[in-house]
Structures are given as C-alpha cells and as structure tokens.
Chains A and B, each alone.
Chain A
Amino acid sequence: DVKVTQSSRYLVKRTGEKVFLECVQDMDHENMFWYRQDPGLGLRLIYFSYDVKMKEKGDIPEGYSVSREKKERFSLILESASTNQTSMYLCASSYGWTGAYEQYFGPGTRLTVT
C-alpha cells in the first residue's frame, strides 16, 4: 500500500519566518509534487521533481523553493512566510514510467501564517 506522509497536519507560523514542509513516500516513486489547495481555486502545482536533485517550477512557484536530496523525500520551503501563503499544502508522488499517471497524495498540511 502506497504511503505518502507529511511532517505536520497543522502548522502556525509568523510572517517572515522560514517554513519547512517535509514529505516522504515509501514506494520508490520517481516523481514528487507539491500543490496548494485553496477554496474555489482547486489544486495548483507549486513545484515538482522527476528525480533526485532535479526540480521544475509549476504554475505558482513564487515565494517557494524545494529540495530533493533523497528519492523518497521532497521538501517545500517558504523562504519568508506571508499571510497569502496560508493554505492547505498537499504532497503527491507517482511512478516515472510511461502510462503511470496516478498520483498518490499525503494527508496535507494546513498552514496558517499570522
């Protein structure tokens, strides 16, 4: 059974703080993704990675960075948190081979920036 875990379910941070969100998957997936979900806006892709050390910008990368030092771990970094980054953050992973489109999601981290 695929498992994607995220380091925190709920997080409260202050404006200007550096925030780290961690994601770990146990299925040896090549691809990993970070999304944010906001009411009425659906799931928006922040960053993704096809391999260790690789990263690609998604649709809304501004204010975020990522790190993938190991295959199973993908970190999302908010360099200087702002109130407009209050959101639900979702990590996902998938196999890298052709035709393997299904992404498996973690439980999400509800981040509040005050």
Chain B
Amino acid sequence: DQQVKQNSPSLSVQEGRISILNCDYTNSMFDYFLWYKKYPAEGPTFLISISSIKDKNEDGRFTVFLNKSAKHLSLHIVPSQPGDSAVYFCAATMNYGGSQGNLIFGKGTKLSVKP
C-alpha cells in the first residue's frame, strides 16, 4: 500500500510560469517531508524539506507547503526554468523507533519546463 503518492507522473510548464508538484500521504505518523530532484543518469539531490510543525518553508525559487489535515504537500517553483526539468520525488519519514532515518518515497513526477 503506497504511503506516499504522487498522482501526476508528468507535468509540462512554460518557462517563467509557476510549477506546482503535488504529493499526498496516508500515514499520520509522518512528521518530516523532503523533496528530491533527479536528473537522468544521476543520483537524487536534496531540494527542500519541511517539518510537520510548519506549514510553509521557502528557499529561493522553491517553496513547500504542508496541509496536515489534508495530508497533502506541494512544491512550488517560481519562476520555472528549463534547468528545472527533472524528476521530482516527494519523501516522508517519522522519528519513531527503528524507522528513524528511513525515507518513504513517492513514484516521482517528471517536470518539463519548455523555453
């Protein structure tokens, strides 16, 4: 059973516009969420994270929003650039017993930013 879901396999956006990538989770024990970016033939790189005690975290062009009641988070990229074209993975974890350190990943959303 998927605990972290990214329901959109792909997203296409025009350069300069906003990209919104969505992620839903089912486990209410998750208390920390991360976004990773992956280019082809490279390992994922950490982008931004948010703790469950916050509802927003911003880093430059990237903002993550967390709606705990809806068990939903989203990554906003403004403005989108062609170099942002990559697969974006949402991940969640909980600080609970033996699961500490393990990330549960979604299946990813492929973002294409067109010039």
> Which residues of A approach B to under 8 Å, CB–CB?
4, 9, 31, 33, 40-45, 48, 50, 56, 90, 92, 94, 96, 98-108, 110
A29 to chain B, nearest CB (A): 10
17 further A-B pairs in the complex, CB-CB below 8 A; given A102-B49, A106-B43: A9-B41, A42-B108, A43-B89, A43-B105, A45-B102, A92-B43, A98-B100, A99-B32, A101-B32, A101-B93, A103-B46, A103-B103, A105-B36, A105-B44, A105-B45, A107-B43, A108-B42
> Which residues of B approach A to under 8 Å, CB–CB?
6, 9, 32, 34, 36, 41-46, 49, 89, 93, 95, 98, 100-103, 105-108
Chain B positions within 8 Å of A56 at CB level = 98
| The one of A40, A90, A100, A104 that contacts B107, using a Cβ cutoff of 8 Å | A40
| The one of B34, B41, B101 that contacts A108, using a Cβ cutoff of 8 Å | B41
Identity of the chain B residue whose Cβ is nearest the Cβ of A93 in the assembled complex: B101
Chain A positions within 8 Å of B36 at CB level = 105
Q: How many Å lie between the Cα of A93 and that of B37 in the bound state? A: 17
Pair B34/A102 contact, Cβ less than 8 Å = yes
Chain B positions within 8 Å of A107 at CB level = 41-43
